A = this chain, B = another copy of it.
Amino acid sequence: MIDFKEYINKRREAVDQYLREYFSKKFQPEILYNSITYSLFAGGKRLRPLLAIASYEACGGEYSHILPQASAIELIHTYSLIHDDLPAMDDDDLRRGKPTNHKVFGEAIAILAGDALLTEAFVMFLKSEYFSADALVKACRVLADAAGARGMVGGQAEDILSEGKEPDPDTLFFIHTHKTGALISASVRISPILSNAPQSIYDSLTIYGEKIGLAFQIVDDILDVTGDEEKLGKKTGADKKKKKMTYPALYGIERSRAAANELIKEALAAINMLDERAEPLRAIAEYIIKRVE
């Protein structure tokens, strides 16, 4: 058995170290640089990079090789949070216990910081001493596809549009699998591509990624109802206030928790045939559901 806490801390520190070094050189205008680094180093859990790393290790890879690609996903995630928090979108003042980007730097710079982070993700992703250009191109397209109109952005749009509407299962499923699920799933999927793993491993990891992606968002919904504000770093009850379409709103807390539990079980079953190098992936799946147990 691995010491999960130590594993996570080490890998997270490696991601942070990589990002700090990458953004160590300031650029003009300084406020844009400050805005970008403010959100990037605001204490994110680095879940998506950790998933990419754990998936890569499950395929037999050395984690340091995938740091640029794993970290690039965090740039995409960070940009999406900055834009989601904007007044025209979710209009949030607080994120991870700190004022949101636009509250500190203004709307214009926040929009541009998001744009810059998204763009920089591709600069970061597309350079490697370890992966073939073929693998980089293929993995990068999977990531971009998951982040764009047919993935995360489409989910966010549907989320905004469905505010205040009567929740229905199809729309809710679309929002959750796209807004959150797509990028989480892509984080897991780039690794077998980059390590030229067999198709069967790719397929298993894809199922794992889809299941935990959806489970993660359901858990997030539940925590918005039952969670501890201080621990979450944001106000709870926001979804209800904004009349968001959520699992608890449609199914209630208990059935939502059961659904998340079931998804985690299915995720674990999907990677059942992987050896002990997949232990971190299993531990991450269990960590997700433990947040609401």
Q: A89-B108, A161-B29, A174-B28 are in contact. Are A149 and B118 (CB under 8 A)?
A: no
A140 contact set on B, CB distance < 8 A: 122, 126
- Per DSSP, chain A at the interface is helix
Q: How many residues of A contact B (CB 8 A)?
A: 49
Which residue of B106, B112, B118, B157 is within 8 Å of A156 (Cβ)?
B112
What is the copy number of this chain in the assembly?
A: 2
A263 CB, min distance to chain B CBs, angstroms? 22
User: Taking each of A36, A119, A126, A132, which has the highest tally of chain B beta carbons within 10 Å of its own beta carbon?
Assistant: A119
- The CA of A233 and the CA of B133, in the complex, are separated in Å by 43
Task: Report 21 cross-chain contacts, Cβ distance below 8 Å, ordered by A residue.
Answer: A27-B150, A29-B158, A31-B161, A36-B149, A83-B111, A111-B111, A112-B153, A112-B160, A114-B115, A116-B148, A118-B119, A119-B144, A119-B147, A119-B153, A120-B144, A120-B149, A122-B122, A126-B144, A132-B133, A136-B137, A137-B137
List residues of chain A with CB under 8 Å of any chain B CB.
27-29, 31-33, 36, 79, 83, 86, 88-89, 106-109, 111-112, 114-116, 118-120, 122-123, 126-127, 132-134, 136-137, 140-141, 144-145, 147-150, 153-154, 156-158, 160-161, 174
